[in-house]
Amino acid sequence: MATEFYDSLEVRDSELREQELFAALPGQLIHAASKAPFFGQQLAEFDLESINSREALATLPLVRKSDLSRLQKEQPPFGGLAAYDPDNLVRIFASPGPIYEPQTSRPDGWRLCRALFAAGMRKGMLVHNTFSYHFSPAGMMLESAIGELGCAVFAAGVGQTELQVQAIAALRPQAYTGTPSFLKIILDAGVESGADLSSLERGLVSGEALPPSLREDIRDRGVQLLQAYATADVGLIAYESEAMEGLILDEGVIVEIVQPGTGDPVAPGEVGEIVVTVFNPDYPLVRFATGDLSMVMDGQSPCGRTNTRIKGWMGRADQTTKVRGMFVQPTQIAEIVKRFPEVSRARLIISSENHQDQMHLKCESTDHSEELQQKIAKAAREICKLRADVSFEAPGSLPKDGVVIHDARTYD
């Protein structure tokens, strides 16, 4: 197992870590309440100096990711949740919703260096980064950390598989960042073209599930993949080490697992919603409910890192799901339906074939014309930023079970 760590925080005594995090929490809460108008109102009735334990933290209200779009419309651009100095703002991104996220000049503001280091990336390496640089912050999230770690980055972005293969063959990067399914596409294309992609030895992947069969397939081609769990809002939440036994929590967050729909912590070993409080002075989210499900694992990682482990992503508390690294939400399907009076209801089916996500939008309509089908497909691409096959169903034929997005993928 690994004998070196990103810093000494990773091997702290567990009780000491807990003491230090909760000793720092009141100051972070006071900062959030004084600098971010939303938290000034949200936390006004609480004695923030006394919020210095998990039990006390659990008394504070949640901030739901699903509410961010509404809050930002009411108080643009960041819903009153940001606390940065305007002189330090360097970029603004947009995630589906839309939800806008700030980037400041703070080095590695999303704290992804730790995950990159655990995945084997070291100063002097070249990293091929295929996360999106357009609208979404994912590309810059990784690029800022890669640079802070002392690595060079090739800003590949998404798509253009043939050019990706050419760049890897020419530049010989040692590492990859992006989604695992896109790496498979690139490696498959390399085999077909006869390109030498053997320089790739390691990768940090995120944005979608990494099924064991896909990890093994890519490992057989010489690339060891580890995972990171991060969001555009809070940055790194947890990461995988070479032990590959659960995801280890980042040192800069407090994570709670709560009963979905409430802020009440679940019993140890139970599945619940991941709630994160982050020590970020610029975007100080407090009890941020991600909508993702997971559970705490017993014990510590064999790699020597002592922080709490979670099992990894275990589904969504709502019907929002991630397809090819992008969130797709029931509200987006509703927006598609609203554009077309001919469509009464719709249901999105998400499946996977050969580790490639597919979207199939079933629409109830009396008009089954090819023209309408093409218009709906175009609207789906505009709204969801992803391609979807469209088919028609008879009015009243879709199940009346409240499901708008049905995730039919399996992860063997």
DSSP secondary structure of 113-181: HHHHHHTT--TT-EEEE-S--SSSSHHHHHHHHHHHTT-EEEE--S--HHHHHHHHHHH--SEEEE-HH
Number of H helices, E strands in the chain: 11, 20
- Report d(CA 73, CA 364) in Å as an integer: 31
Report which of 297, 319, 326, 325 is spatially closest to residue 309, judged by C-alpha positions. Answer: 297
Query: How many other CB atoms sit within 10 Å of the CB of residue 321?
Result: 21
Query: How many other CB atoms sit within 10 Å of the CB of residue 55?
Result: 9
> Tell me, what's the pLDDT at 324?
86
Non-local CB neighbours of 8 within 8 Å, separated by 6+ positions: none
Number of alpha carbons in the 13 Å side-chain half-sphere of residue 391 = 10
- Report d(CA 189, CA 114) in Å as an integer: 31
> Tell me, what's the pLDDT at 138?
96
Range with the lowest mean pLDDT among 23-32, 34-43, 208-217, 219-228?
208-217
Report which of 368, 375, 360 is spatially closest to residue 394, judged by C-alpha positions. Answer: 368
> Tell me, what's the pLDDT at 261?
67
pLDDT mean over 236-256: 97
pLDDT mean over 176-202: 97
- Report d(CA 129, CA 286) in Å as an integer: 30
Q: Is residue 390 part of a domain?
A: yes
Per-residue pLDDT of 2-61, as tens digits, reads 458 999 999 999 999 999 999 999 999 999 999 999 999 999 999 999 999 999 999 999
Q: Is residue 357 part of a domain?
A: yes
> Tell me, what's the pLDDT at 2?
45
Measure CA 38 to chain center: 23
Print the domain residue range for 395: 322-407
Q: How many domains does the structure of the chain reveal?
A: 1
Supply the pTM of this predicted model. Answer: 0.81
Tokens found for residue 196: 């030498």
Say yes or no to pLDDT of 358 above 70.
yes
Say yes or no to pLDDT of 364 above 70.
yes
Say yes or no to pLDDT of 183 above 60.
yes
Please, are residues 280 and 32 in contact by the beta-carbon 8 Å criterion? no
Q: Is residue 375 part of a domain?
A: yes
Tokens found for residue 296: 């705490």
Q: How far is CA 214 from CA 226, 244, 369, in A?
A: 12, 14, 38
- Report d(CA 362, CA 319) in Å as an integer: 16
Q: Is residue 135 part of a domain?
A: no
Please, are residues 44 and 59 in contact by the beta-carbon 8 Å criterion? no
The β-bridge relationship of strands 288-294 and 247-249 is unpaired
Please, are residues 264 and 327 in contact by the beta-carbon 8 Å criterion? no
Secondary structure letter of residue 266 according to DSSP: P
- Report d(CA 68, CA 298) in Å as an integer: 33
CA dihedral 184, 187, 192, 193 (to 10 degrees): 140
Cα dihedral across residues 131, 67, 113, 324: positive or negative: negative
Per-residue pLDDT of 117-138, as tens digits, reads 999 999 999 999 999 999 999 9
pLDDT mean over 160-175: 98
Q: Is residue 370 part of a domain?
A: yes
Q: Is residue 183 part of a domain?
A: no
Provide the CATH number for the domain around residue 365: 3.30.300.30
Per-residue pLDDT of 257-287, as tens digits, reads 998 767 889 888 888 899 999 999 999 999 9
Q: Is residue 403 part of a domain?
A: yes
Report which of 97, 54, 405, 65 is spatially closest to residue 231, judged by C-alpha positions. Answer: 65
pLDDT mean over 189-209: 96
pLDDT over 90 percentage in the chain: 83
> Tell me, what's the pLDDT at 1?
41
Q: Is residue 206 part of a domain?
A: no
Please, are residues 27 and 34 in contact by the beta-carbon 8 Å criterion? no
Per-residue pLDDT of 289-335, as tens digits, reads 998 989 999 999 999 999 999 998 887 777 788 898 888 988 799 89
pLDDT band at 402 (very low <50, low <70, confident <90, very high): low
Per-residue pLDDT of 76-128, as tens digits, reads 999 999 999 999 999 999 998 899 999 999 999 999 999 999 999 999 999 99
